[in-house]
Structure formats: C-alpha cells, structure tokens
Structure 1
Amino acid sequence: MPSPDKNHWQLVADTFYKKWQFPNCIGAIDGKHVEMKAPSLSGSLYWNYKGYPPIVFIAVVDAFSRYTVIEVGAYGSSSDGGIFQNTRFYQQLSENTLNVPMDNPIPGTDTVMPYVFIGDEAFPLEYHLMRPFPRRSLTDEKKIFNYRLSRARRLVECAFGISANMWRIFLKPIETQPDFACDIIKSVCILHNFILNNEPHRMKIVDSEESWTSPTQNMGRAETVLNRRPSNNAMEVRDKFTTYFVSPTGSVPWQNIL
C-alpha cells in the first residue's frame, strides 16, 4: 500500500466530488474493532466498550471504498478518536507532511477551501478534518451538512463491510497473538484493494440514493470522545462547506427532504 502523493489525493478528491458530491474530500476515515482472543495476562487493555477484546485499526478510504491509509494495532480499551490522535497519520496531518494539496476553490465557485478528510463525531474538528455538527439544536443548514458528510463518509463503513464479507475471519474472534492478528488485518486490506481494482463488480455499493438511508439516520456514533475546542479556522471551514451545500451551486435535490 504505497504512501499517497499529491496527485493521488487530487484524484481521490475529484472522484469524491463526481460520485458523492462532496468537494475537496480526500478520504473518509473511521476505526474498526476486530474481535480477537484476549492474550493471557492482558488485563483490561484489550477490552472495548462492547465487552469483547478487539484489535483496532484506523482506516482512510477513497470514493470506491479502497483503503488508502491504515494503522493497525491499537488497544480495544481506547476510543477511536484517542487512537487516531496517536497514529503516524495524524502526526503527519498535524505537521503538514502528508502531501495534502494546497487549498483550492470548490468546483463552480471562487471559494478557496482546504482538502479535507471526513469522519464521525469520534474524531476532532480540524482544518483538514471535518466532523458533523453536534446533534443538539441543529438548524436546517446544519442538518444538510451532516447529511452530506454522512453520505460520503459511509464509504469507509462500506469498506469494512466488504472486507468482512469477503474474508469471514472478521466475523469471529481471531485466535492468534496480537502481532500476527495485525498482520492478518493488513493483509486483508491489501487483498481488498487488489480485488476491487481487478474485479470491481464485487463492490456491493449501489450508486443511487435508494441505497442510502434517511438523512436523519446513521449520522455517526453518539459518542464524543474529544472535548478539545476546535480552532476558529476549522469551524470557519465547516461553515463554508455548510453555506456551499445550501447554495444553488452546491445543493442536490434529494437533500431537500429534510
């Protein structure tokens, strides 16, 4: 799995806009808990809030649900957001060494915006990382933003589902040592990409709104694990996306059912 360069990120952004109408998006991010047999003498380190011991991996996917970045091996007792902040990916994103392209106008406008990753409520709101508005006191405009983000973010959940269906090892506890379990997960991610590149008909994603849930559903987990206040720049970026999504240029007909 090669490290993405600026050309790769730009191609991902172009495809996200074309297929899912989210501009300047260079990936959907989420964490997955893969159940495993707890190592002996591990105490509570590996146990998650669901009551089983998992290996956790953070994944970024493109608009075709292919993995572009993965980080595997975190303890199950940690939250997705907390795990994310300890990844090499987050360090590179914070240090601006991830080869993210320079800010660019949103298609059809003169509004210069950064390229962003999109995640659910477990992730922080940052200049290059968008998350939904809190569910309390949502205006119509904020509901539309949450819907548009959730609609594009589902690609990472689809990737997890596709991997689990192609490799049934994800449907039962992995009975091996953690290091080898991490190798299994990494291998599955690489094979996942190989198969989707060569046999795209295997990808069970329907490119129609009928396949998508109601905008009021599936808005991400209620859990909010990062209470740090976002920067003014990050909030301004989210507000600009919100304005774009309700504008004549950026709106889509089906969002008006809200």
Structure 2
Amino acid sequence: MGFATVRTIVKDTVIVIWDRLQAAEMPIPDHDKWTSIADKFFARCDFPLCIGALDGKHVKIKAPPNSGSKYFNYKGHHAVVLMAIADADCKFIVIDMGAYESNSDGGIIQDSAFYKLLNSNNLNIPEPTFIPGTNTTVPFVFVADEAFPLSPNMMRPFPRRELTDEKRIFNYRLSNARRQVECAFGILSSMWRILLGTIEVHDTFACDIVKAVCVLHNMILNKEEERIPFISNDELAVEARTRNNDLPACNRRPGNEAMIIRDKFMSYFVPPLGKITDGPSLHREC
C-alpha cells in the first residue's frame, strides 16, 4: 500500500477506537462510581474521600508547521500534554489531550473542560461527608502535585519550606495516593511503545493516537486485572522523600476554604487517628 493509504487507514482507525470505546471504557462517572473510586483509594492508598489522582504526561511530537515555540520545551523537543486523572486501579477516569508543551500543568488544567465542570458542580460528585471514624466533614477531592492549584476539590502538597511533622505526614499520604496516576502513565508507555519516542505525525493526529491508546489501556486493565501493578510501602517511603524536588509550584494563591480543608485532612492523618493500618499491603508496585 502507498504511504497516504496507510496513513488514512491508521488515522480512521484510531478515531473509531476512541469514538466507539470511550463511552464503555472511560465514561463520565456518576454518583455511585465516584463513591466506589473513593472506597478503593481509601483501601489501597489510605487516603479517604479521594476520587482521582491528577498529573500530566508530555508526549514528544515532531515540530508542527509554523508552530513557533508553542510546542517547544526546555528539554529541546516539541510535545503535547496528556492531562489525566486515574483511579486506584491505574485506569484513566478523565483525559484532556493537546495542550501546548509551553503551558504549565496548572494553567492547562484550569483551561480544561474538566476543571470548568468541576468548578460549576457538574461532575456528579457526591456531597461532602464525614472522614471515616470522625465527625469532620470534607468534600471529595482529587490529589495533585505542587504544579496544580489548591481548591476545595483539589488537594496539593504543602510547600517544602518550613514543613512541620504534620505537614510531612500529609505530603506523604497525598504522594501515596497520587502515585496511581504515575503508575498509569508507566503502564501506558510500556504497553504502547510509540509513547517512548517521538510521534512522527501532525499534532492533531498525534492527539488522536494518544486518546486511542488511553481508552485501549482501560479496556485491557478491565479485562486483565493482573496487569494492575503492586506498589510496596518501602518504595512509597522513598518516593515521599524525593517527591516534587523539581516541580514548578502553582503561583495562584489558594482560598481560605481550600486551605481549611487541607488542614482537616492533615489533622486526620496525624496518628493515632489516621494511622496506616497493619496487615497485608494492598498497594501495588510499578
């Protein structure tokens, strides 16, 4: 077959994969689904009322025509950003694809359709409830790193300066939960090796390819649960000490409500109330 023929077949195929599988393998969660996600995060990551781990992955592409520096990053290559939220099983709940590499993760998420729906309370997220075993009411939250904004429904670590023991514990527990999205990206890249190099197609076509492999990622994990990785507690301890060393912090000042909610989680995590239970580890290792 000619180059143009193969290109057309591949392009049509990845678009059909997304159009046909997205509703079944990556549907927008309803009230019950969000609750189920939170239960698994609490069981596996010891973080209550967490409904997703948020992060961005930079996918290398060839330089688009007349794009200037929009897709260019400090590492010297062009890329588009896959912004994703993963559940405790390392499956993608929501993805946003195609943002410019030159934008920050915090800026990308604030411009996304997901963030607008979150702020307008249109994601079917359950109402705030009690942290298990307490009389403290907090909303369901997503966990993210320092590059993302702190809001009532999005928790990020405390800044590294002047950390108290309580804040270090909170950062460790948040890192524990947030690792699920990093594992999701690791599984995705290991199964779909095209993501390890430069995708030699136009930026729009590259986005279609990434969307297709994300929905196939969910389909495979739904059918083959043994592929879900196991994270050991020893690895999590090392990860917590080295987390966020090179991350650019989001400069947007959080509101008082968001900081109060984060402090409530911090207070819960301080032993003995929020102590991690003994017994066989439920964490999964990449």
Residues 1:47 and 2:75 aligned together: no
Match of 1:143 in 2: 168
Residues 1:105 and 1:150: Cα distance change in structure 2 (over 3 Å) = same
Normalised to the residue count of structure 2, the TM-score between the two structures is 0.85
Q: Which residue identity is paired with 2:186?
A: G
Query: What is the alpha-carbon distance in structure 1 between the residues aligned to residue 232 and residue 195 of structure 2?
Result: 28
Do 1:121 and 1:222's aligned partners in 2 also have CA atoms closer than 8 Å? no
- Structure with greater helix percent: 2
For residue 261 of structure 2, the aligned residue among 224, 237, 240 is: 237
RMSD value over aligned CA atoms? 1.4
Match of 1:64, SS?
A: coil
- Could you tell me how far apart the structure 2 residues matched to 1:114 and 1:212 are? 25
User: Matched residues in 1 for 2:76 and 2:237: separation?
Assistant: 28
Deviations 1:15-49, CA, capped at 9 Å, x for gaps: 10011110000000001100111112211010123
Partners of 1:150 and 1:218 within 8 A in 2: no
Q: Distance in 2 between matches of 1:47 and 1:244?
A: 42
Cα distance in 1 for residues equivalent to 2:88 and 2:34: 11
State the distance in 1 between where 2:182 and 2:60 align: 17
Q: How many pairs were matched up?
A: 253
- Give, as a single letter, the amino acid of the residue that structure 2 aligns with 1:150: S
Q: Distance in 2 between matches of 1:213 and 1:44?
A: 38
Identity over aligned residues, as a percent? 54
- 1:170 aligns to what? 195
Asked whether the 8 Å contact 1:121–1:221 carries over to 2, the reply is no
Structure 1 residue 252 displacement after superposition? 2.0
What secondary structure, in the 3-state scheme, does the structure 2 residue paired with 1:212 have?
A: helix
TM-score computed with the length of structure 1 as normaliser: 0.94
* Separation in 2, partners of 1:7, 1:247: 30
Structure 2 residue aligned with 1:20? 45
Give the structure with higher Rg (CA): 2
1:57 correspondence with 2:74: no
Partners of 2:77 and 2:232 lie apart in 1 by 36
| Distance in 1 of aligned mates of 2:35 and 2:246 | 31
Contact 2:176 2:240 in 1 (8 A): no
Change in 2 beyond 3 A, CA 1:207/1:239: same
User: Residue 145 of structure 2 corresponds to which residue in structure 1?
Assistant: 120
Match of 2:251 in 1: 227
Runs ≥4 residues deviating over 6 A: none
User: 1:58-137 maps to which residues of 2 (within 5 A)?
Assistant: 58-137=83-162
